[in-house]
Chains A and B, each alone.
Chain A
Amino acid sequence: KGSDSPTIINAFQLIGMSSFLDLSGFFEQ
């Protein structure tokens, strides 16, 4: 309450954004 700290993204959410972890690339060529 009253905190002005920004919403912090979870580290694993950030990591999950890697293209190398998105195997849908197999199907999108």
Chain B
Amino acid sequence: CFDCRQNSPRTCQYVDLARLAHDSPFSVNEVEALYELFKKLSCSIIDDMLIHKEELRLALFQAPYGENIFLDRVFDLFDEKKNGVIEFEEFIHALSVFHPNAPIEEKIDFAFRLYDLRQTGFIEREEVQQMVATILMESDMTLSDELLNLIIDKTFADADSDKDGKISKAEWKAYVLKHPSLLKNMTLPYLKDVTTAFPSFIFNTEVED
């Protein structure tokens, strides 16, 4: 149904919209409204109803080019099928985690996978160093190596309870529960009100919630 290269949402079966809504915190109308957002994002560079990495970059950073490890990880986590593009169903699945009503365990898990750059099942010190270096470059901030190491040492002293030099998922969970502000990025308040943000869904709707 969501092979959107051929089908408009109008041709989608209600049951598929209902399935997506059923498996997510979204109502059917909210899924339809998110389809309006998906259409906009997926046609911004290549008009094929699939979100390519360049389109994700353009949406998040208003520039289609430039390498960034965070963008790569966000894209990989959205791209469940690992086929190099984000389809509508994958878009809904990933955004579900960012819904204010999504279970905190899902947010903790998503953030862990985001920061586990090498996907080893642990957040390693080198990965944290790499991510900190990336954000410093992105924001034109400079910190002395001494202060940088102090920040990372302190973070690991707090998070790495078994002192093995890496943060396991259980350690991450305990750590973010102690510092819930670290999950701030995992919630998008906009998702509570998508039908207002994308009212044009009403022209294609299959159902009145």
The docked-state distance in angstroms from the alpha carbon of A17 to that of B134 is 11
Interface code B157-188, partner A: CB below 8 Å = 1, 0 otherwise?
Answer: 01000000000000000000001011011001
Near A by CB (< 8 A), chain B positions 32-46 give 37, 40-41
Q: Please tell me if the beta carbons of A15 and B197 are within 8 angstroms of each other in the complex.
A: no
A3 at interface by CB-CB < 8 Å: no
A12 touching B60 in the complex, CB below 8 Å, given contacts A17-B135, A18-B135, A21-B70: no
Distance in angstroms between the alpha carbons of A12 and B60 in the assembled complex = 20
* Chain B residues at the A interface, C-beta cutoff of 8 Å: 37, 40-41, 57, 59-62, 68, 70-71, 74, 95, 98, 114-115, 128, 131-132, 134-136, 138-139, 150-152, 154-155, 158, 179, 181-182, 184-185, 188, 190, 197
Q: In whole angstroms, how far apart are the Cα atoms of A11 and B181 in the complex?
A: 13
Complex alpha-carbon distance, A18 and B134, angstroms? 8
